[in-house]
Amino acid sequence: MKEIKEVLVVEGKTDKAYLSTFIKADILTCNGSAIDGFSMEYLASLASTRGVILLTDPDFPGAKIRNEISQKVPNCKHAFIDKQKSIKHHKVGVAECDQQEILRALNHVVTFTDKINNHPLAMRDLMEMHLIGPNSQLNKEKVCHYFHLGFCNAKTMLKRLNLLHITKNMLEEAIQ
């Protein structure tokens, strides 16, 4: 059983019950997109004392929850599961994901920082490296997987790469 000192935040009770079978951690549920399982002040306090890891479903509601929490709790960590590995019985989510994929995501959490990036990437850099536009899907998937960014559109990918201070050289390495 894997032990995690940070508090895990998931969407629902099913996710919590499933994770509790192979992970020893304090797990908070936000009760779906309502985010009514706790206050943001409480979560910010936890993030500054113990740390918080967001583990939401790789779909639109999960991204919405992740964005809302990370805007109000900027020092939280993020664990992203692969959408293709989290589909079962026409449902997408943490509870549908296999244990190995969840453990992989938890071993590769990322923390986005708002410190000044002296060499930020621009949208034109992504275009030059074939990360957006026609025939870019394979490169985009490589980069998102390499840096553990989760599934995202081009604008979100650019923001996440810059928050991680990823350089063009690092991107080139990831594509190779």
State yes or no: pLDDT of 146 exceeds 70. Answer: yes
Q: Tell me: the pLDDT tens digits for 69-128?
A: 988 887 899 999 988 888 888 888 899 999 999 999 999 998 887 777 677 899 999 989
Per-residue confidence (pLDDT) for residue 41, from 0 to 100: 85
> Which residue ranges make up each domain of the chain?
1-111, 116-176
Q: How far is CA 95 from CA 58, 91, 92, 115, in A?
A: 11, 9, 8, 34
Q: What span, in angstroms and rounded, lies between the C-alpha atoms of 46 and 66? A: 16
Query: For residues 46 and 48, what is the distance between their CA atoms, to the nearest angstrom?
Result: 5
Q: CATH for 1-111, among 3.30.565.10, 3.20.20.70, 2.40.50.140, 3.40.1360.10?
A: 3.40.1360.10
Q: How far is CA 67 from CA 45, 134, 137, in A?
A: 18, 27, 23
Q: Are the C-beta atoms of 10 and 23 separated by less than 8 Å?
A: no
Per-residue model confidence (pLDDT) at position 88:
87
Share above pLDDT 70 across residues of the chain, in percent, rounded to a whole number: 95
- 77 membership: H or E segment, kind and range: strand 77-78
pTM: 0.78
